[in-house]
Amino acid sequence: MVPISYYLVLSAILFSIGVAAFLIKRNIISIFMSIELMLNAVNLSFVAFAHQWHQVSGQIFVFFVMVVAAAEAAVGLAIIIAIFRSRSTLNVDQVDLMKL
Partner 1 sequence: MHLVLFFIFGGLCVAGALNLLFQRHPINSALSLIVVMSSLAVLYLLLGAEFLAAAQVIVYSGAIMVLFTFVIMLLNAGREERTHGSKAAYAIGIPGAAALFAALTYIFLSNGTHLSSASLGEYLVTTDALSRVLFRDLLLPFEVTSVLILVAVLGAVALARKEN
Residue ranges in 11-30 that form contacts with partner 1 under rule CB under 8 A: 12-27, 29-30
5 near partner 1, rule: CB under 8 A: yes
Among 42, 75, 87, 95, which residue sits at the site for partner 1 (rule: CB under 8 A)?
A: 75
* Longest Cα separation, the chain: 54
42 near partner 1, rule: CB under 8 A: no
Q: Taking CB under 8 A as the criterion, which residues in 79-98 touch partner 1? A: 79-82, 84-85, 90-93
